[in-house]
Each structure stands twice: as C-alpha cells, then as structure tokens.
Amino acid sequence: MSGAGEAYPGESRAALRDGGGLFVTFEGGEGAGKSTQIRHLAQALAEAGHRVTLTREPGGTPLAEAIRALLLGPDNAAGDPWTQLLLFAAARRENIRAVIAPALARGEIVLCDRFADSTRAYQGGRLPDAAIETAIALATGGLAPDLTILLDLPPEAGLARAQARRRGAAGDPFEAADLAFHAAVRSRFLAIAAREPDRVLVFDGTEPEADLAARIGAALATRLAAAAPA
Ligand code: TYD
C-alpha cells in the first residue's frame, strides 16, 4: 500500500523524473498527422543514437488498450462525458506507471501520441475545467511533458484526411462529432499553446510531410542541446 500523502501512488513526484529523460507529447485534431510525424521523429532520434520509447494514449499497456477499445469502439460503450474523463484518466495512469515513468527513469526520450492536452481539448467543452484538471492531476501526479508538438490544421482538412485513411470504415465517436466541435477542439489546443509557449510548439499540419518532419527534428535537436549538461 502506498501512503495517502504521496503525490502519485507508489512513486514520489520527484522519482518520476529521476532519470533525466525527456518527455515529448504530440497533440492535434483528427487527421493532423501525429502518428506519421511521431514515427519520423522516433526514427531520426534512434539514428542519432538516442534511446526512444514510443507510446500512445489512450493505450500503451494491455489494460490501457482495453480501455481504448471501450472509449473508441463504434458503440459508444464508454458512456457519458464524466465516465469518459475517468476512463481516459485511468488509461493515462496505467501508461505512466508501466511505460512512461520507467522509460524516463532509464533516461530515455519518451514520445507519446496524445496526452493530457487532448483531455483539455476534447473533454474541455463538455465538463468544468476544474474537474478536468483534477482528473489529469490524479492520473499524472503532476508529471507533465517537457515539450509538446502541436500539429495544427483546419478541422475540415484533418477530417477529410482521417476519412480517406479509413477508406470507408466508421470513425471513432470523437471523430464523428460535428465540425463545430472539432473547431472548438482546435481553439482549445491553440489556447493551451498560447498559455504555455515554452512547452507547446505549434507546427502547420498542412505542410508537406518531409518538411514538417525536418522542422520537428530540428526543434528536438535544439531542445536536446539546451538540456545537455555543459
Ligand atoms: P487517436 O487514434 O489517437 O486519434 P487520431 O485518429 O487523431 O490519431 O484517437 C484518440 C481519440 O480519443 C481522438 O478522437 C481524441 C480522443 N481523446 C480524448 O477525447 N481525450 C483524451 O484524453 C485522449 C488521449 C484522446
């Protein structure tokens, strides 16, 4: 049993970051190209000799992937927005406990496809901000990304891309929401970036894939050079 006063059950908050790893998240609306760009970056970093752990939310462990199937399944099995918030939080806690924190403790670079900013952007319009921040705090114990790559693009363009990628298959319940919802998600992501410009770097998701990959790679190189011991 862990003590009731601990910031994060089973771990102290400081212990989560002991290894000096770098925690990088990718965020954006539907069809923004996150998954493609995260793969490019993982490959570039590995080629440069870094140890990289790649994960995604919701997901990353068998339990969190099972929660993902409930949340994103076609039949809206995940229930109302409150239940969804708690399920995203549960999946995040699991991913941090089993994947993200251990990799950071080993000093690795962790690349995570979506994280807490997705909760702020997607659940944000439907639930009070204070409840969202409480759920995020419970799941993370205060663990926040060092750097967030936000791929921004108009929702029309992203949804068209996502639809083309699915080749006629049904999208998840969040993707199926109307254009006004996706426009609000975009504004909430951009508002987070405006509030935290040092953490969140905004990239134009409509740029050609290779140009974007080069730009993101350069941003990471700058951040890694700044983090390196003198
Ligand atoms: P994902 O496959 O990551 O999105 P994409 O198709 O854009 O690559 O699907 C995750 C979906 O879950 C996406 O619609 C956003 C949503 N989501 C939330 O609503 N809240 C969250 O906290 C997270 C992590 C995702």
**Ligand 1 midpoint to CA 133 (Å):** 18
CB 53 within 8 A of CB 111: yes
**Ligand 1 midpoint to CA 225 (Å):** 31
Q: How far apart are CA 40 and CA 22, in angstroms?
A: 17
User: Does residue 26 have its Cβ closer than 6 Å to ligand 1?
Assistant: no
Q: How far apart are CA 167 and CA 85, in angstroms?
A: 29
Q: What is the pLDDT of residues 163-221, one digit of tens each?
A: 898 887 878 888 888 999 999 999 999 999 999 999 999 999 999 999 999 999 999 99
User: Model's pTM, two decimal places?
Assistant: 0.92
User: Does residue 88 have its Cβ closer than 6 Å to ligand 1?
Assistant: yes
CA neighbours within 13 Å on the CB side: how many for 192? 29
Q: What is the CA radius of gyration of the chain?
A: 17
Q: What is the pLDDT of residues 56-67, one digit of tens each?
A: 999 999 999 999
pLDDT of residue 167: 81
Ligand 1 pocket check: which of 122, 175, 186 to mutate, most ligand atoms within 8 Å of Cβ? 122
Greater confidence (8 vs 206) lies with 206
Q: How far apart are CA 141 and CA 51, in angstroms?
A: 25
**Ligand 1 midpoint to CA 229 (Å):** 35
Domains annotated for the chain, with CATH where assigned, are: 18-227 (3.40.50.300)
Q: Which atom of ligand 1 is nearest to the CA of 115?
A: 24
Query: Residue 76 above 70 pLDDT?
Result: no
CB 59 within 8 A of CB 91: yes
Say whether 112 sits in a helix, a strand or coil. strand
Whole-angstrom CA distances from 208 to 189, 213, 215, 220, 221 are: 21, 9, 11, 19, 20
**Ligand 1 midpoint to CA 19 (Å):** 28
Q: What is the mean pLDDT of residues 85-90?
A: 98
Residue 228: pLDDT band (50, 70, 90) is: confident
User: Does residue 146 have its Cβ closer than 6 Å to ligand 1?
Assistant: no
pLDDT of residue 77: 66
The vertex-59 CA angle with 44 and 211, nearest 5°, equals: 30
Query: Residue 3 above 70 pLDDT?
Result: no
pLDDT of residue 204: 98
Greater confidence (210 vs 2) lies with 210
Residue 6: pLDDT band (50, 70, 90) is: very low
Q: What is the pLDDT of residues 102-142, one digit of tens each?
A: 999 999 999 999 999 999 999 998 999 999 999 999 999 99
User: Does residue 95 have its Cβ closer than 6 Å to ligand 1?
Assistant: no
Q: What is the pLDDT of residues 11-59, one digit of tens each?
A: 544 445 556 799 999 999 999 999 999 999 999 999 999 999 999 999 9
pLDDT of residue 174: 87
Nearest of 89, 79, 156, 95 to residue 120 by alpha carbon: 89
pLDDT of residue 149: 98
Percent of the chain with pLDDT over 90: 78
**Ligand 1 midpoint to CA 118 (Å):** 7
